[in-house]
Amino acid sequence: MCLIGDSGTGKSHLLIALGTEAATAGFKVEHILAAKLVNELVEAADEKVLTKTIARHGYVDLLANDELRHRELARRGVELLFKA
């Protein structure tokens, strides 16, 4: 699912609400800002522990990724994010 809209329209609130409902229903949920996730992936790749880092985030049923559009993300980071 991808939520697209102008700033202030409630996308982040909706994402949090959906994640909360999923967690209440028993699903494993992680909410993380895009910049933080990309930074983790880039650092993990540099340290040769990318597979381990991806596995740490991969155990969840829902990875709620917020503010993808609002951050300038390095091309390498975006490639790692979508490769994961």
Looking at the whole model, is its pTM more than 0.85? no
Tens of pLDDT, residue by residue over 12-64, are 899 899 999 999 999 999 988 888 888 888 888 889 998 898 888 888 898 88
Total Cβ atoms within 10 A of residue 59 = 9
Whole-angstrom Cα distance, residue 65 to residue 6? 17
For residue 75, name the pLDDT band (cuts at 50, 70, 90).
low
Helices (H) and strands (E) in the chain, counts: 4, 2
